[in-house]
Copies of this chain bind each other. A is one copy, B any other.
Amino acid sequence: MANTLIGVPRVNLEREFFDVRRQTELLCAPLSPEDLMVQSCSDASPAKWHLAHTTWFFETFLLSEFLPGYQPFHPDFQWLFNSYYNAVSEQPVKALRGSFSRPSLEEILAYRLSVDNAMDRLLRNYLPAEAEKRVKLGLNHEQQHQELLLYDIKHAFWANPLHPAYYDAPPSHAPAAPPPAKWIANPGGLIEVGHTGKGFCFDNEQPRHKAYLEPFELASRLVTCGEYLDFMRDGGYERAELWLSDGWDAVKAKGWRAPLYWFESEGRWVVFTLTGPAELSALMATPVCHVSYYEADAFARWAGKRLPTEVEWETAAERLPAQGNLLESKALHPTVAGASGGLEQMFGDAWEWTASAYLAYPGYKALPGALGEYNGKFMSNKMVLRGGSAVTPASHIRSTYRNFFTPESRWQFSGVRLAKRQE
């Protein structure tokens, strides 16, 4: 940790700051002010709100505290763009975010510009270590919202009866068949997981701690659409014995019979993607995506396997480079696994549901004050996902990263890797 008395010049941090901020705006480039308004499900927020809320973070936690004489851009924005930090202010009801025609996009872009300029002043000077930590937190926060923004706009365009594409990509020429899945063994034993070292991490990745693992094996790649279709054709969505009780309730209540974004058209399955609808037949070798934990778990039970725990996953991943089909590859969708024969697709493509509930690590301490609401307060009724997806920024992911969603969520890019006991 940096010395808390004497700040350090922030050349790299400044560059990072503007890179991340510009990236958010770039993601909005294909969208009209009207698109930026849409909130098509309760999980989602309008893109315009993401633009404002990420800015609010820097204003609230950096400028108001560390830039002498800083005047807030607009007195109402402090509570308008608070998401859930109860310690900071009341927040508007989430369901009304879609009614935010005012402030206009123009005003929100002005807000971004104004905050960026003030941050520029702040970053040019020596920063207290606490401020530096917060800038890094703010940038990682903004990267999370970049990913959410893509989840949300995908859902918005799915909800739109016209099913428009977010981005016009050249048709990909995926191989007809994926490489065969192999089992990659791991001896387990008394190992350690959790973040250590100098890089950024969220509070929920710490402290690093010991855990004991039985020997286990992980599948070398993610489950493909073709394999998932086999599950469907084998009555996967009609056989109660394959499902957790809550999962079976969800199947019946929501009428699930395929992953989110799959629909039937003239007798064929079509998959809606950020680049528009695509024939499932062209995606058979690519990882299945947008499944809930319940579906991942039912698939694993059907396959006679199980999901990995997050500790198993991290142990297997920690020596691998955090590279893969991430946001920067611009595919915006999972692609076919490589044929290295080792663990493939551990980073990128699709977040991997684990069999672990999202809970505190032994000795976990939340950040003090409002920032402590960032992670800790969500530690109930969620399952951990690992590894990032095709819309995760590359600089955002690492082997210790713990993502989490409720088990019925499907609008995030989530897929399945199988595990089993060592035989």
* Residues of A near any B CB (own CB < 8 A): 32-40, 48, 76, 79-80, 84, 86-87, 92, 96, 98-105, 156-157, 159-162, 164, 190, 209-214, 240-241, 243-248, 293-294, 297, 306, 309, 355-357, 359-360, 362-363, 372-373, 377-381, 383, 407, 421
Q: What is the total number of copies of this protein in its complex?
A: 4
How long is the Cα–Cα vector from A77 to B213 in the complex, in angstroms?
A: 46
Question: Can you add 10 more A-B contacts, CB < 8 Å, to A76-B161, A96-B161?
Answer: A34-B104, A80-B161, A99-B160, A101-B160, A102-B157, A103-B162, A190-B190, A244-B377, A294-B380, A355-B360
Whole-angstrom distance between the alpha carbons of A5 and B200 in the complex?
Answer: 61
Interface of A is mostly: mixed
A343 → chain B closest CB, angstroms: 21
Contact (Cβ within 8 A) B101 A35 = yes
Question: How far is the CB of A312 from the nearest CB of chain B, in Å?
Answer: 9
CB distance from A376 to the nearest CB of B (A): 8
Chain B residue with Cβ nearest A243: B377
Q: B380–A246 contact, CB under 8 A?
A: yes
Residue of B nearest to A37 (CB): B37
CB distance from A55 to the nearest CB of B (A): 17
Contacts of A159 in B (CB 8 A): 96, 99
- List of 9 A-B pairs having minimum Cβ-Cβ separation, nearest first: A357-B357, A86-B240, A34-B101, A35-B101, A245-B377, A210-B212, A212-B212, A37-B37, A99-B159
Residue from the list B32, B190, B381 in contact with A212, Cβ < 8 A: B190
A214 surroundings in chain B (CB, below 8 A): 209-210, 362-363
A210 closest partner in B (C-beta): B212
Q: Which residue of B lies closest to A306 (CB)?
A: B360
Most buried by B among A241, A244, A359: A241
Q: Quick one: given A160-B99, A241-B86, are A380 and B359 in contact (CB under 8 Å)?
A: no
Q: How far is the CA of A355 from the CA of B157 in the complex (A)?
A: 40
Interchain nearest-CB distance for A161 vs B (Å): 5
User: In the complex, how many angstroms separate the beta carbon of A41 from the nearest chain B beta carbon?
Assistant: 9
Query: Is B362 a contact partner of A359 (Cβ separation < 8 A)?
Result: no
Which residues of chain B come closer than 8 Å to A105, judged between CB atoms? 34
Known A38-B101, A244-B379, A381-B246; contact A211-B212, beta-carbon cutoff 8 A: yes
A378-B245, A380-B247 given as contacts; is B209 within 8 A of A96 (CB)?
no
Q: A203 to B247: give the CA distance in the assembly, Å.
A: 21
State the Cβ distance, A297 to closest chain B Cβ, in Å: 8
Q: Say whether A156 contacts B101, CB under 8 Å.
A: yes
Provide 25 A-B residue pairs closer than 8 Å at the C-beta atoms, listed in order of the A residue.
A32-B104, A34-B37, A34-B48, A34-B105, A36-B101, A37-B38, A39-B98, A39-B99, A76-B162, A87-B241, A92-B161, A96-B161, A99-B156, A101-B156, A102-B164, A212-B212, A213-B362, A241-B372, A243-B377, A244-B378, A244-B380, A248-B377, A357-B359, A362-B421, A380-B407
Measured between beta carbons, the chain B residues less than 8 angstroms from A377 are 243-245, 248
Complex interface: chain B residues within 8 A of A87 (CB): 240-241
Let me know if A160 and B102 touch, CB within 8 A. yes
Give the chain B neighbours of A380 by CB distance below 8 A. 244-247, 293-294, 297, 383, 407
Q: Is B86 touching A248 in the complex (CB atoms < 8 A)?
A: yes
Q: Once bound together, how far apart are the Cα atoms of A3 and B270, in whole Å?
A: 53
Contacts of A35 in B (CB 8 A): 101-102
Q: Cβ of A248: which chain B residues have Cβ within 8 Å of it? A: 86, 377
Q: What residue of chain B has the Cβ atom nearest to residue A40's Cβ? A: B99
CA distance A96 to B32 in the complex (A): 18
Contacts of A99 in B (CB 8 A): 38-40, 156, 159-160
Q: How far is the CB of A19 from chain B (nearest CB, A)?
A: 28
A208 CB, nearest partner CB in chain B, Å: 12
